[in-house]
Amino acid sequence: MKKIGFTYIIYLICIWNYFLFFYPLETFSNSNYAALAHAVFFSKLPLEWILLYGLIKSNWASKWVSFIETITRFEWLKTMLFSLLLVLGYGIIRLPFNLVWFWISHREGTSLQPLGDWFYEMGLDLFFYWIMLTLGLIVVRLVIDRFKRTWWLILWSLTLPIVVFVVYVQPVWIDPLYEDFTTMEQGPLRTAIEDFTNEVGMENTTLLQVNMSEKVTTFNAYVTGIMSNARIVLWDTTLQGMEQDEILFILAHEIGHYVMHHVYIGVAGYLILSFVLFFLAAFIYDRVWLNVRRQNNYKTKNELKALPLLLLILSMLLTVSQPISNYVSRQIEVSADEYAIEHTENLAPAVEGYYRMATQSRSDINPVFWVKWMRSSHPSIKERIMRVEREMEERETN
């Protein structure tokens, strides 16, 4: 573990020196905020691997299990306690970087969130992570025990109802735990939005605004939920800081997601990718487990102390697949941009809106390719502005 720790320190030195002094940052603001955001992201990236590898290599996973077995004999409770220790460890090792980012975002003025509220939300995140991890590990242990060869396929088949449940329930039950949502006030903007939504077949869509001005100074709007839970949400910072035509272009983009059924496409893509990942995880886990079972005293593939090995494999596969997920997401966002462009007569406010959002959020408007692969689920602001400007030029020539 000393070698791992030393290697990670060298990695941090390289990452921070690169983003502070050598990264070719393009931004509309006089700040290196976006470069620091990249540095924090890549600093935290290997922490989960280090934690899980450390539990395996140092035999701490076995010690945790031995301790837990002195407390209870119920397997579900053992799994819950083991998951709790994992989540606490994960939260602790990420805390220094989260605090650094809290300080940076307040120094740069993009965040106004009080420290107590920040800790509350972080605790809420960890609580939900603990619940999901506990349920996931309980199911994994049961399925591996019963289906020796096809356990990965059974686990994959359970992802569809889980994803649909989360997508349907999150806007109603989870999001309000973090933010205060209210119905959008009557006025010219709401009337314009309702005219647009009625035109594209989104009659009686729920229009909400969320109080974000107490936390951030940046702008956002989104469409969330499916079926009867679909809703359009605008941050109050967007309503206060952007012009009506700029907001309508952003909403045209978000409505494009809804009209082109991108939520369902995303779910389908998730199922395809998760099928591949579960298959690869099972293939790798079965072989690695055979090689290390004696030295780690593993008896079965579903015992608690062996699960960090499976989680480590899954975590690394998810990271490797991130560029694929981001690429698909960027293509979806491009199609939503094209929908917004097609349904907007005056595109000048669109360009102004992109400039305003990028300036306010201090964005990296043109990330280098490998940062884009790992971090960008949307096209760069530079690409989006250029796309709108090309359309404006074509309209003028025609």
Active site (catalytic) residues = 254
Beta bridge partners of 181: 210
Contact residues for 256 (Cβ-Cβ < 8 A; gap 6+)? 262, 335, 336, 337, 338, 339, 340, 343
How many residues comprise the chain? 398
Q: Which tokens hold the place of 52? A: 């899980």
Amino acid at 81: L
Nearest to 212 by CA among 122, 112, 126, 360: 112
Listed residue (126, 164, 127, 157) closest to 139, CA to CA: 157
| CA 134 – CA 123 distance, rounded (Å) | 16
**Residue with token string 């006025």:** 187
Q: Please, what sign has the CA dihedral across residues 187, 188, 189, 195?
A: positive
353 within 8 A of 309, measured Cβ to Cβ: no
Cβ burial 128-139 (10 Å sphere, 16+ → b, else e): eebeebbebbbe
Rounded to whole angstroms, the Cα distance separating 16 from 19 reads 5
Tokens coding 198: 């009625």
Q: What are the structure tokens assigned to 88, written together? A: 């606490």
Give the strands of the sheet with 206-210, arranged side by side: 181-183, 206-210, 231-235, 221-224
227: left (phi over 0), alpha (psi -120 to 50) or beta: left
Q: How remote is the C-alpha of 214 from its chain's centroid?
A: 22
